[in-house]
């Protein structure tokens, strides 16, 4: 990233404006290799949707070398058209360091600071030292990610030690906080303490009107928001743009129109999120409905039941979208079928 560390916080205020979605990996039919065409298709879809940034969700179903290759594909396809971030939740801190250096080498703008799931620090100091090591490994913008996923609630009743966030924000290239803890008291503490210092990103669209009006929130995500919109009808992007322009009446009109998608998203998405993981295939299906590549994810993966597909399609129709109605195409993937039928 060609931005001096001393300017990276200013850069974040300038560039982190809008909504961030996710990019998921696609595979060839035998699941032995990444489907580069399918991944590039989804990058182009993210751009067409009007998202400001996309995060590579590479923490499941991929070898580390495959994760690096996917990040390089996304960065190359996205260059100059959409910001690219990477989720740093690998099996060791060494791999997190290696990936953040790879991000810098291939042209990603940022990385989301996570921790290995087996990381069991003795105290907040150990968390800080691990965070500092990864953050300072390369000239890439770093977003803090306070989340229940890392089991730090055993060290602090807030769920993530605020002292770690405070110290990490003194590092030049730690430029933002993505809220991963949806506990209202924790949300209040983060915004109360650091809202004027760094960009704070929030994923749950139900909260955006409140956070925009009270804290001037400007960056939202990350999520599989394609259930709420298509490139031809970018409802969620328009909703957020109205909030950014302080056009609250117009924003809330769209907010209420999106209620069927909101309720479906929360019903299907939140149970796995509360357990610390996600239903990757389900989120890929949301993207597929409005033009994404589709294709199942490699195991370990949750099963995708037909009722989930039916309800998701019903939600998109209820907000005025026309979803792709060929579920067999989802399981095959658009790029795979295109190659097969050439």
Tens of pLDDT, residue by residue over 249-301, are: 999 999 999 999 999 999 998 888 778 788 999 999 999 999 999 999 998 88
Q: What is the pLDDT of residues 167-205, one digit of tens each?
A: 999 999 999 999 998 899 999 999 999 999 999 999 999
The predicted structure's pLDDT at residue 340: 96
Distance in angstroms (rounded) separating the CA atoms of residues 185 and 222: 21
CA distance 265 to 285: 12
Write the CB contacts of 84 (distance below 8 Å, at least 6 apart in sequence). Answer: 53, 54, 55, 56, 71, 74, 75, 78, 107, 108, 109, 110
Crossing angle for the helix pair 235-244 and 208-215, nearest 10 degrees? 20
C-alpha atoms less than 13 angstroms from C-alpha of 269 in its C-beta half-sphere:
17
Q: How many residues does the chain have?
A: 342
- pLDDT at residue 269, rounded to an integer: 87
- Determine the Cα–Cα distance for residues 298 and 321; give it in Å rounded to an integer: 29
Could you report the per-residue pLDDT of 34-72, keeping only the tens digit for each?
A: 999 999 999 999 999 999 999 999 987 899 999 999 999
Where does the pLDDT of residue 5 fall: very low under 50, low under 70, confident under 90, or very high at 90 and above? confident
- Residue 326 scores a pLDDT above 80: yes
Among residues of the chain, what percentage have pLDDT more than 90?
A: 92
Distance, in Å, from the CA atom of 158 to the CA atom of 181, rounded to the nearest integer, reads: 9
* pLDDT at res. 182: 85
pLDDT band at 1 (very low <50, low <70, confident <90, very high): very low
């Amino acid at each position: 990233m060609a931005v001096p560390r001393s300017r990276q916080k200013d850069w974040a205020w300038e560039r982190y404006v809008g909504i961030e979605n996710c990019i998921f990996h696609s595979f060839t039919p035998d699941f032995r290799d990444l489907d580069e065409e399918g991944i590039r298709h989804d990058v182009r879809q993210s751009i067409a949707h009007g998202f400001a940034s996309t995060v590579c969700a590479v923490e499941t179903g991929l070898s580390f070398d495959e994760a690096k290759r996917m990040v390089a594909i996304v960065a190359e396809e996205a260059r100059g058209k959409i910001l690219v971030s990477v989720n740093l939740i690998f099996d060791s801190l060494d791999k997190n360091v290696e990936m953040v250096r790879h991000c810098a080498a291939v042209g990603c703008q940022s990385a989301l600071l996570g921790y290995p799931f087996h990381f069991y620090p003795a105290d907040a100091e150990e968390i800080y030292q691990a965070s500092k090591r990864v953050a300072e490994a390369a000239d890439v913008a770093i977003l803090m990610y306070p989340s229940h996923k890392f089991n730090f609630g055993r060290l602090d009743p807030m769920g993530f030690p605020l002292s770690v966030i405070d110290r990490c924000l003194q590092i030049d290239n730690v430029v933002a906080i993505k809220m991963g803890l949806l506990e209202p008291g924790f949300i209040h503490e983060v915004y109360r303490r650091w809202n004027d210092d760094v960009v704070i990103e929030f994923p749950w669209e139900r909260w955006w009107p409140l956070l925009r009006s009270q804290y001037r929130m400007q960056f939202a995500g990350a999520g599989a928001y394609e259930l709420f919109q298509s490139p031809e009808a970018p409802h969620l992007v328009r909703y957020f743009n109205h909030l950014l322009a302080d056009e609250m009446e117009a924003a809330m009109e769209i907010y209420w129109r999106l209620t069927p998608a909101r309720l479906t998203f929360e019903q299907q998405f939140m149970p796995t999120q509360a357990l610390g993981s996600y239903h990757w295939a389900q989120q890929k299906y949301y993207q597929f409905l409005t033009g994404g590549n589709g294709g199942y994810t490699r195991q370990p993966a949750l099963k995708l039941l037909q009722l989930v597909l039916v309800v998701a399609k019903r939600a998109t129709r209820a907000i005025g979208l026309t979803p792709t109605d060929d579920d067999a195409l989802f399981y095959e993937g658009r790029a795979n079928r295109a190659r097969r039928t050439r």
